Amino acid sequence: MTTLRPRHKNDLYCTASPVTQRLLGMMPLDKSDLIVLEPCAGNLDISSQFTRARVATNDIDQTKNTNYHLDATKSENWQQFGKVDWTITNPPFSHASDILMNAWEHSQIGVVMLLRLSFFEPTRDRGDWLEVHLDNLCKFIPINPRIKFRSDTGNTDSVTTAWYIWRHDFSWRENGIECPFGFIRNWR
């Protein structure tokens, strides 16, 4: 019988530095003319990898060394972050949908999130949003080997993650390409 381990406070599961470094090697996010927000900064594992962009950090945990301590699931809190070009984060999975929707509304260029592969399932809380924004999903980058998020587990965690990247200025259709992503929903 498997013993379930308790979840970390606020679903804080740190992101290994090389995972962010590889992303920054693929995406021009660390430029001096960009303002980047990490709304679920935790231990600053993602934001610390930026050397040129202006980065604002937030975490709901008052003990974290961040610029803000706001609840990123509440849309009214996002106004306090000011102008944001990109939002990049590894959000708590249980609140990822709300944080993604807020990030999309308040980011000028786009949103980058490290999420479980299963986030792409069009569930009730995010299915409509995902379907509407499939055309803006410009990159989907699965990570292998799996990231080890917990120190109290064996060699790996049991979940595969990927960087999901949505851009306001990107459209498969406008580029004359049929969107490669789609869902089969309500088939019963």
Beta-carbon contacts of 146 under 8 Å, excluding residues fewer than 6 positions away, are 156, 157, 159, 160, 161
Return the CATH fold of 14-175. Rossmann fold (3.40.50)
Query: pTM for the complete prediction?
Result: 0.88
Q: Beginning with the edge strand found earlier in the chain, give each strand of the sheet holding 137-142 in spatial order.
A: 54-57, 35-38, 86-89, 110-116, 161-167, 137-142
Q: How far apart are CA 85 and CA 31, in angstroms?
A: 11
Q: How far apart are CA 11 and CA 40, in angstroms?
A: 10
**pLDDT tens digits, 98-127:** 999 999 999 999 999 999 999 999 999 999
Q: Select the more confidently predicted residue: 88 or 185.
A: 88
How far from the centroid of its chain's Cα atoms is residue 171's Cα? 20
Check the CA dihedral 46-149-66-71 and report its sign: positive
- pLDDT of 186: 83
